[in-house]
Structure 1
Amino acid sequence: MKQWKKRIATVVVASLLLSIQGCGSKDKASDTGKENTNTTTATAESEETKDVEYQVQAPKKGDTIVTISFKNFGDVKIKMFPKEAPKAVENFTTHAKEGYYDGLTMHRVINQFMIQGGDPSGNGTGGESIWGKPFEDEIVDYLLPIRGSLCMANAGPDTNGSQFFITQAETADTSSLGNLTIKQAEAFEKYGGCPWLTGGYTVFGQVYEGMDVVDAIAQVQTDTDTAKPKEDVVISHIEVSEYDK
């Protein structure tokens, strides 16, 4: 029976195991051995012309931004990447404008890894896209799952729905990962993040304000088996706007 539980795949790298201890086999966190061969790769601008510095630049006037307001925690502000990940951005911002995420919880939280939410069922098994069916991945070499990246959660290649996660790891060990370019490895060493997720998940936004809120959420007490917070972490509202400074 096909398991549609959304999860974040990990490569079994010994140096990274301590950061994902909270994900037991019951949670089906690992999805090793899969290669993402059917992704839609943006080619308008390659890694030769852009690198991760583009990802971490402050938003410019007119850029699409979102503000995720968490009850009792505060706001996280994120700039979006509609050119590189048009479907992911459209899906997320449309859901946000329609109030889809209002009142939902961050159902999976792992300190020094990520915080995940966007599932109406609240347990990682639900949620759908604005099109009522999964949509394809949008992977570009210069948008990486560094610390503070907003990514689509999935159950395998091209299975994006409504769930998302924000990477939170402060450091990254790339010594055992041979699939990264020199630029990518340097980016993770500089900014932290989750390098083993590279190429498997659509990165469609980057936190530019409010990482202290993400860090606070990442430190809440969670269930050992499911990584679900013992007290709900609730999304009050997500506001979509244009950066005007």
Structure 2
Amino acid sequence: MSVTLHTNLGDIKIEVFCESVPRTAENFLALCASGSYDNTLFHRNIKSFMVQGGDPTGTGKGGMRPDTNKSQFFITYAKQSSLDGKYSIFGKVIDGLEVLDTMERTPVNPKNRPLKEIRLERVTVHANPIADQAK
């Protein structure tokens, strides 16, 4: 199972771990398939650490629904052992590392907000097993 994040800087393809973290994967795939991530911003960008998106408000304060795994997510630029056991890892980048390199180099303000918009324009879900189970 994979998704492609179509950003204004290029495409990032992610393999989603449906079997190892089914609830988190199902939540993420449902948000992708519903268009919830369309035209949202990556609102936080920390060099050598991560880029964060998925907030419908673009501020980092939205996407907090009760009894869900929320909508925000981040992509780390390198292995981050300090996060082990603290967050659900629900996928890995399998294509588009050059796009992540471009994101990482994007200048930010003192609050790590990109000075130039990094926009998630839309998401393509490839072979969604969650939707296939519902049929």
TM-score when scaled to structure 1?
Answer: 0.51
1:133 has 2:42 as partner: no
Cα deviation, 1:143-195, whole Å, max 9, x if unaligned, reads xxxxxxxxxxxxxxxxx3000000103xxxxxxxxxxxxxxxxxxxxxxx111
Match of 2:5 among 56, 68, 84: 68
Alpha-carbon offset, residue 212 of structure 1 = 1.1
Q: What residue in structure 1 maps to residue 18 of structure 2?
A: 82
Amino acid at match of 2:38: D
Amino acid at match of 1:166: I
Equivalent position SS for 1:203: coil
CA distance in 1, matches of 2:67, 2:51: 21
Moved over 4 A (4+): none
1:214 has 2:123 as partner: no
Could you say which structure has the higher strand fraction?
2
Matches within 5 A, 1:1-245: 64-71=1-8, 73-128=9-64, 132-135=65-68, 160-169=69-78, 193-224=79-110, 226-242=111-127
Equivalent position SS for 1:84: coil
Equivalent position SS for 2:41: coil
Q: Which runs of 5+ in 1 are unaligned?
A: 1-63, 136-159, 170-192
Equivalent position SS for 1:239: strand
Alpha-carbon offset, residue 121 of structure 1 = 1.4
Identity of aligned residues (%): 37
Amino acid at match of 2:122: H
Alpha-carbon offset, residue 241 of structure 1 = 0.7
Larger CA Rg, structure 1 vs 2: 1
Alpha-carbon offset, residue 78 of structure 1 = 0.7
TM-score when scaled to structure 2?
Answer: 0.90
Alpha-carbon offset, residue 205 of structure 1 = 0.4
CA distance in 2, matches of 1:168, 1:123: 21
CA RMSD of aligned residues (A): 1.3
